[in-house]
Structure 1
Amino acid sequence: MTISLYDAVIPPMRQIVGSVQGVLAKGAKHCEAEGKSADALLSDCIHETMLPLTFQLDSVIHHSIGAIDGVRAGEFNAASGLKTHDYAGYQAALAETDERLKALSPDDVNALGGKDVIFRFREQAMPFTAEGFLFSFSKPNLYFHATTAYDILRMKGVPLGKRDYLGQIQLKTG
C-alpha cells in the first residue's frame, strides 16, 4: 500500500485539531459548572518555564494549517505576533483551522511533495523538503503543543482522559 503526502499529513492534523477542540469544549463546560470564566485558563501553564495555554493553542494552529501555508510559500517562520483570542475565540479559530484543513484536496497537498521549505528562526535558516518539514518538524510540534494544552486543562481539573486527546481515530470503513 502506498501512502500519499495528503494521507500522512492532513487526516492526522485534523484528528489532533479536532481533539483540541473537544478538550476546549470540556474545559468550557467544566468552568461553567464551577462558576468560573474559561478565559482564566488561558494564562495557565504546567511549569513556570513553559508558555501558557494561549501559546499552546496558537501553536496548534501554526503547526497545522500554518505549516501547510508555509510549505506553499516555501518559508515557515517561528510563531510570533500571533493574535491572542479569548477562550471562545480560540474555539472559533480552531474550528476555522479544521475547516481550512478539510477544504484541502489530496491533489493540492500531494503536489507539495519535494518542495523546498526554509524554516526561519531569528538568524537561523533551516532547509527542508516539504516531507521532511511536515514529518520531522511540524507534526511533532503539533503533537507537543496539543499535549501541553491537554495537560494544562487536566492540571486545572478538567475531567479529561486519553480518548479526549486521541480525538476521532481513523477507523476502517467498509
Structure 2
Amino acid sequence: MAMSMYTASVPPLIRCLNNLAGILEKGAAHAESQGIDPSALINFRLLPDTFPLSKQVQIASAVARKGVARLAGMDAPSIEDNEA
C-alpha cells in the first residue's frame, strides 16, 4: 500500500506542534499558579549548552514550515525568528 509524503509528514508534524502548544500552555499555567514570571521559563535552558526554550520552539516551527515547503517543491516563507 502506497503512502503519500503528505500523509507521512504533515499529520505527524501537526500532532507534534499541537503537543508542543499543550506543553507550553501547561507551563504557563504552572508559572501563573506558582507566581513565576513566564519569561523565566521562556529563557530557561535544560542544560548550559542547549538553546533556551524560546529558540527550541522557533526551531520546531521552522522544521515543520520548511519541511512541508520542501516536500511541496516550494521555497519556505521567510519569517524572522525574533519573537519572544
The secondary structure found in structure 1 opposite 2:46 is coil
Structure 1 residues 115-126: aligned runs within 5 Å: none
Deviation at 1:37, TM superposition (A): 2.0
| Structure with greater contact order relative to length (CA < 8 Å, sep ≥ 6) | 1
For 2:15, the equivalent position in structure 1 comes to 15
Deviation at 1:55, TM superposition (A): 1.0
- Partner Cα separation in structure 1 for residue 49 and residue 38 of structure 2: 22
2:10/2:68 contact within 8 Å kept: no
Structure showing the higher strand proportion among its residues: 1
For 1:32, the equivalent position in structure 2 comes to 32
Deviation at 1:50, TM superposition (A): 1.1
- Partner Cα separation in structure 1 for residue 47 and residue 83 of structure 2: 20
Matched residues, number: 78
Q: Deviations over 1:111-136 (max 9, x none)?
A: xxxxxxxxxxxxxxxxxxxxxxxxxx
Root-mean-square deviation (CA), in Å? Answer: 1.5
Say which one has the larger Rg.
1
- Structure 1 portions without partners, runs of 5+: 76-80, 86-174
For 1:82, the equivalent position in structure 2 comes to 81
- Partner Cα separation in structure 2 for residue 39 and residue 52 of structure 1: 11
Q: TM-score, normalised by structure 2?
A: 0.83
Q: TM-score, normalised by structure 1?
A: 0.42
- Partner Cα separation in structure 2 for residue 59 and residue 17 of structure 1: 11
Q: Deviations over 1:35-71 (max 9, x none)?
A: 11222111111111111111100001100023223x1
- Partner Cα separation in structure 2 for residue 21 and residue 66 of structure 1: 19
- 1:48 correspondence with 2:48: yes
